[in-house]
Amino acid sequence: MKIEKQNITINLLDAEETIHEGDTFILTNHRLMVSSKPGRISNVWEEVQLEECLDPKLKNAGKSSRKWLGSRLLVVGFAMISLQMIPYFFFGVNVLGKLPDLIESFYFLASMLTATGGIYLTLGSYLNRPPHTSVLFGVPGSKDLLAIFPGWDSEEASELVSKYRRAKRNV
């Protein structure tokens, strides 16, 4: 029997049946096959016999996006910095110079912390992976298999793990 997945043909062994399948994984009663690019569709699939796998481990990873908060903090921080810097550069006037030094120092500290926090949150939102659930199938003496599902506490990941454990007991 053959399974067609994204222009890839996967041949099943004799007496092998598909138990559960998704875009990036296939679980049969004898093997587990996972896309070589975790969480994405790939032309190359890694496979392992169920007898060789250890118990899978579920883990939530990734960070939720803070783009909205980061961009707002960045705008407020740059506005505070501009309010002090633009009059000084163009007119030679220190707008906050009439205030006590302590208040001027706190204003400078608040503007820099706000801008720095905004840069940190905005860049972090673009550089970190979004929330996802990872399922790690350990294979002693070989490369471990990794399946990634979108969102924390993914129902599809939990379903894969439960069907995997059931299939492993029946082997």
Supply the pLDDT for residue 2: 59
Q: Give how far the C-alpha of residue 1 lies from the chain's centroid of Cα atoms, to the nearest Å.
A: 35
Q: Which residues of the chain have pLDDT under 70?
A: 1-9
Q: Give 60's strand partners.
A: 133
- Say yes or no: domain 2-58+133-170 is CATH 2.30.29.30: yes
Per domain, the residue ranges of the chain are 2-58+133-170, 67-127
150, two tokens: 């979108």
Supply the pLDDT for residue 92: 84
114, two tokens: 């706000």
Supply the pLDDT for residue 111: 95
Supply the pLDDT for residue 4: 62
Could you tell me which of 33, 63, 64, 58 has the C-alpha nearest to residue 133?
Answer: 58
Supply the pLDDT for residue 8: 67
Supply the pLDDT for residue 26: 85
Is there a contact between 57 and 138 (Cβ–Cβ < 8 Å)? yes
d(C-alpha 167, C-alpha 171), whole Å: 6
